[in-house]
Amino acid sequence: MSTTPEWIMIGGEGPESYNQHSSYQRALLEAAKEKMNEAISAKLSLDLISDRFSVADFGCASGPNTFVAVQNIIDAVEDKYRKETGQNPADNIEFQVLFNDFTTNDFNTLFQSLPQGRRYYSAGVPGSFFERVLPKQSFHIGVINYAFHFTSKIPKGITDRDSPSWNRDMHCTGFNEAVKKAYLDQYSADTKELLDARAEELVPEGLMLIFGSCLRDGVKMSETSKGIVMDFIGDSFNDLAQQGVIEQDKVDSFSTPLYIAEEGEIRQIIKENGKFTIEAFEDIIHPNSEFPLDPKILAISFRASYGAFLAAHFGADVMRKAFELVEVKAREQFTRLKNAKPGMQYLIVLRKN
């Protein structure tokens, strides 16, 4: 059992919710759609498209992006079937969609907002994607959108002041070698577990489509705008500790279970795991580049994605105060944000060996 709290999004459909503030993550699905269609057309074996076709989304959150992701996949599969067989997919194929996330994810909001007129049956699959969550050979295409950067726990030593890998920052900035190694080791071990589990659950020759963001080789997290915002979040909690709102110890003993890897590190992990072939690793031009450079939008979007996890450690009121400071810092240090090095948004297409 991991002692790290689960990193869920802010649920519901309210003003702070992920549901209302996840258009950045959705934009990648749209920007990569053409490349994804090409990959399905070229890499998915026609033999796999028969009476029942299952799509599984890992780390689906409470919507609405997951509906876009799975619909785009179903459209591409139907298109391929129509073109290559001349038959109407609706006559011959039934689709099933498996929505996976932590048990604490807001599945109620997800299922209450399932799109009208959808052409698929749905089921919830609760549990951590670092483990097996489905029977063997139970789906044909898996998708992960912006959830391929998590670790299952905070790496060893990171929150221990006496350890050489103690991290005084709240994330892996990339500047401390010992901290970077601890995070990369943990990420590498966890991602291999994730790939092992999916390889068991996928049908032979099934595909995994992974959308997300990574670092260009040699770039450090705190040199990118996302890393800079994470620095602002850490600085804001430190300010609150200085003001006596929270104890400094609470800030020093906090770190995040996520690691934004370099492209080369991701390739290496997949290669070492050996269960999948990398069919494509596309550099996608995101319409909002690294993130929209607006201090208010940055604070709101990061709060929707990070707020629930931070509130579990610091309390909801302190978390809200911190994000007010994040917006101020983003305004004051706008030039730093503007001059950030670019990150990279990707679509990785994996085929099970």
Residue located via tokens 């890499």: 43
Least separation in angstroms between residue 25's CB and ligand SAM is 4
Smallest distance from ligand SAM to CB 145, Å:
3
The helix or strand, by DSSP H or E, that contains position 258, with its residue range, turns out to be none
Name the minimum Å distance from CB 210 to ligand SAM.
11
Pairing of strands 202-214, 344-352: antiparallel
Convert residues 223-252 into a mask of x (bound to ligand SAM by CB under 6 A) and - (unbound): ------------------------------
Of 4, 7, 265, 310, the one binding ligand SAM by CB under 6 A: 7
Per CB under 6 A, does 66 bind ligand SAM?
Answer: yes
- From residue 78, alpha-carbon distances to 38, 58, 215 in Å are 13, 22, 34
User: Does 105 help bind ligand SAM (rule: CB under 6 A)?
Assistant: yes
The rounded distance, in Å, linking the Cα atoms of 287 and 11 is 26
Helix (H, G, I), strand (E, B) or coil at 158: coil
Site string for ligand SAM, 15-54 (x = CB under 6 A): -------x--x-----------------------------
Do strands 139-145 and 202-214 pair parallel, antiparallel, or not at all (unpaired)?
parallel
Helix (H/G/I), strand (E/B), else coil: 96: strand
Shortest Cβ distance from residue 344 to ligand SAM (Å)?
A: 17
Reduced to 3 states (helix: H, G, I; strand: E, B; else coil), residue 283 is strand
What minimum distance in Å lies between the beta carbon of 63 and ligand SAM?
A: 8
Q: Smaller CB distance to ligand SAM: residue 72 or 238?
A: 72
Residue 318 to residue 189: CA distance in whole angstroms: 33
Q: In Å, what is the CA distance from 274 to each residue of 193, 195, 203, 249? A: 12, 9, 16, 42
Of residues 257-316, which lie at the interface with ligand SAM (CB under 6 A)?
305
> Rounded to an integer, what distance in angstroms lies between the CA atom of residue 168 and that of residue 171?
9
Kindly tell me which of 145 and 238 has the beta carbon lying closer to ligand SAM: 145
C-beta nearest to ligand SAM: residue:
59
272/188 Cα distance (integer angstroms): 10
Which of 102, 111, 120, 281 binds ligand SAM (CB under 6 A)? It is 102
In whole angstroms, the minimum distance from the beta carbon of 9 to ligand SAM comes to 5
On the question of a cis peptide bond just before residue 155, with omega within 30 degrees of 0, the verdict is: no
Told to check if 10 binds ligand SAM by CB under 6 A, we report no
- What is the SS3 assignment for 323? helix
Q: Rule CB under 6 A: which of 130-169 touch ligand SAM? A: 130, 145-147, 150
Complex with ligand SAM: residue 4 or 173, whichever CB lies closer: 4
> Number of residues in contact with ligand SAM, rule: CB under 6 A?
22
User: Following DSSP, what letter does each residue of 32-43 receive, concatenated?
Assistant: THHHHHHHHHHH
User: What residue ranges bind ligand SAM (CB under 6 A)?
Assistant: 7-9, 22, 25, 59-61, 65-66, 100-102, 105, 128-130, 145-147, 150, 305
